[in-house]
Homo-oligomer: A and B are copies of this chain.
Amino acid sequence: MKEIRIGILGFGTVGAGVVEGIQKNGTLMAGRTGIHLVVEKIADLDITTDRGIAVPDGVLTTDAMSVINDPSIDVIVELVGGTTIARTFTLEALKLGKPVITANKALLADHGEEIYKTAREHHTGIYYEAAVGGGIPVLRSQRDGLVGNRIESIYGILNGTCNYILTRMEREGLPFDSILADAQALGYAETPPDLDIDGIDTAHKAVVLASMAYGAPVPMEACPAKGIRGLAESEIENADALGYRIKLLAIIKDNAGEVELSVEPTLVPKTHMISSVSDSFNAVFVKGDIVDDTMYYGRGAGRLPTGSAVIGDIMEAAADKLHNVGTPVSVTMMLQRDTLDYYPEGNIEKRCYLRFPQANLKAAAEVLEKHGIGIASVEESFSVILTQRAKESAFVAAMAELGDAIRLRLEDFE
C-alpha cells in the first residue's frame, strides 16, 4: 500500500464533499488501487464554520501557501474558486513540481495556456475532470477512451442551473423571473446569476472541451455565448407544440480544420435523447470519426458529484506521481499545437426558430428569402417561422430589418 498526502485549498461546498467522499470510501479506494489517500491539510480563510465533517486537529489552517510549500504534501487540490488567488496557488504548486487538481472552469478558460505550460515546464500535471460536467467522467472519456478518434462534434448541456430553470418553466408554465427567484431561494442558482444564465459558465466549459478535442488552449473570444435570460414562456410552449424542447446548448464542431464554437438556447427535437436531460442534470454528446456517437450523462454540479470527479483526479494524480509519469496526457493533449483556426461566428450555419410578435409573416418571409434564408415551415397560429440552414451573418442581416423578432437556434443533429 502506497500513501499519498493531499493538501486541499478551499473548504467550501466542493472541498467538504471531497473530504466526505475520502472519509467514506477511502478504504474501498485503497483496495481498488493500492493507494491510500491522506488528507493532510485543508486551508480556508474560514476554519470555524461547521461543514458537518469531523477533521482531526491540526488539519485546518488559514495559510494556503504553507500547505503548498509543505514538503510532506504530494498533491494540491485547488477549490478556492475565482481566477486571481486560485491562479497564484495553482502556479505556485506547479512550480514546485506538485500536481494540482482543480474544478475551476473559469481559471482554465482564462489562464489555461499559462497553467498547462507551467505544468509541462515543471514535469507535473494539472487535472480538471470536475471543471466540466461535474461528476460525469466526460473529459477522461474523451481523452482516454476516445483517444483514437478525431472529434467531429460535441453537443453539451453543461449548466445545471439553466437546465433546471428550463425544465421547471416547461413543466410548470411559469415565467423565467419567478423560477429564477425560486432557484436562488433554493440555492440552485447563484446571486447574482449572471455567469450561469448568460451562458458564460457554459462557454467556460465549452472551451475546455474544445481545447482537449483539438489540442490547444481555446480563448473565450472564440466562443460566442448567449444565455437564457428573459426567455419567454411562449417560446417554450411553441417549441413544445412543434415537437421540440429548449436547452442551453454548447455546440463544438470541426469544420474541415476550423473549430466552430457557440453557446445559445436551442430547440432540440423531443425524439433526440438530449431533450430528455432534465432538471439539473448535464449531458455531453461526443461524436468521433471511429466510435460514432457517444453520450455521457450525470449530475453537473453539487457537493458530492463534483467531489466524485475531484477524487477520481486525485487518484489519477497519485498514480501518475507513484509511476513518475512526469507530464501527463491531461497536459500534453492541451498543448499539441500553438493555435487553432476558429470558424467566424458569421459563418456558423444553423437553422432558426423566429417569432414575430408584430410583423406580418408574409413580409417577414420575403425579408428572409432576400437574405438567402430558406423557409422550412410557417406556423401562423404562433407567428413562428422555422428556417432552413443558413449562415449566422444572413440571420443577423435579416433580423436588422425585422425589428423585434425573437430568434433561437434549432438543431436537428443531421
Residues on A lying within 8 angstroms of B by beta carbon are 17, 21-22, 24-25, 28-29, 31-34, 129, 135-137, 140-141, 143-150, 215, 273, 276-277, 281, 283, 288-299, 302, 304-305, 307-309, 311-312, 315-316, 319, 323-325, 329, 332-333, 336-337
Q: A29-B148, A147-B311, A323-B324 are in contact. List 9 more A-B contacts (CB 8 A).
A: A32-B147, A137-B141, A140-B145, A141-B296, A149-B308, A290-B311, A293-B298, A295-B296, A295-B297
Distance (Å) between the CB of A277 and the closest chain B CB? 8
Which residue from B32, B140, B292, B309 sits with its C-beta under 8 Å from A333?
B32
Q: Determine which residue in A215, A291, A325 has the highest number of CB atoms from chain B within 10 A of its CB, and name it.
A: A291
Q: Compute how far the CA of A309 lies from the CA of B294 in the bound complex, rounded to whole angstroms.
A: 12
Residues of B within 8 A of A17 (CB): 290
Distance (Å) between the CB of A210 and the closest chain B CB? 14
Which residue from B32, B290, B309 sits with its C-beta under 8 Å from A24?
B290
User: Closest B-chain residue to A148, C-beta based?
Assistant: B311
Copies per complex of this chain: 2
Are B290 and A307 within 8 A (Cβ)?
yes
Residues of B within 8 A of A136 (CB): 145, 294
Distance (Å) between the CB of A37 and the closest chain B CB? 9
Are B298 and A294 within 8 A (Cβ)?
yes
Are B308 and A288 within 8 A (Cβ)?
yes
Known contacts A147-B33, A315-B144, A308 near B296 by CB under 8 Å? no
Are B325 and A22 within 8 A (Cβ)?
no
Q: Compute how far the CA of A143 lies from the CA of B309 in the bound complex, rounded to whole angstroms.
A: 12
Which residue from B146, B215, B283, B316 sits with its C-beta under 8 Å from A312?
B146
Distance (Å) between the CB of A149 and the closest chain B CB? 6
Q: Compute how far the CA of A21 lies from the CA of B136 in the bound complex, rounded to whole angstroms.
A: 26
Residues of B within 8 A of A289 (CB): 24-25
Residues of B within 8 A of A293 (CB): 281, 297-299
Residues of B within 8 A of A32 (CB): 143, 147, 215, 329, 332-333, 336
Which residue from B24, B148, B329 sits with its C-beta under 8 Å from A25?
B148
Are B332 and A33 within 8 A (Cβ)?
yes
User: Closest B-chain residue to A20, C-beta based?
Assistant: B290
Q: Compute how far the CA of A147 lies from the CA of B333 in the bound complex, rounded to whole angstroms.
A: 23
Which residue from B22, B141, B288, B299 sits with its C-beta under 8 Å from A291?
B299
Q: Compute how far the CA of A292 lies from the CA of B301 in the bound complex, rounded to whole angstroms.
A: 11
Which residue from B294, B309, B332 sits with its C-beta under 8 Å from A145?
B309
Are B144 and A137 within 8 A (Cβ)?
yes
Q: Compute how far the CA of A332 lies from the CA of B276 in the bound complex, rounded to whole angstroms.
A: 37
Are A308 and B21 within 8 A (Cβ)?
no
Q: Compute how far the CA of A215 lies from the CA of B25 in the bound complex, rounded to whole angstroms.
A: 14
Residues of B within 8 A of A315 (CB): 144, 147-148
Q: Compute how far the CA of A291 lies from the CA of B249 in the bound complex, rounded to whole angstroms.
A: 23
Are B145 and A291 within 8 A (Cβ)?
no
User: Closest B-chain residue to A32, C-beta based?
Assistant: B333
Residues of B within 8 A of A323 (CB): 323-325
Residues of B within 8 A of A141 (CB): 137, 140-141, 145, 296
Distance (Å) between the CB of A15 and the closest chain B CB? 14
Q: Compute how far the CA of A365 lies from the CA of B30 in the bound complex, rounded to whole angstroms.
A: 51
Distance (Å) between the CB of A318 and the closest chain B CB? 10
Are B291 and A135 within 8 A (Cβ)?
yes
Residues of B within 8 A of A34 (CB): 332
Residues of B within 8 A of A31 (CB): 215, 336-337
Residues of B within 8 A of A295 (CB): 283, 295-298
Residues of B within 8 A of A308 (CB): 145-146, 148-149, 288, 290-291
Are A150 and B25 within 8 A (Cβ)?
yes
Which residue from B137, B143, B304, B333 sits with its C-beta under 8 Å from A146?
B137
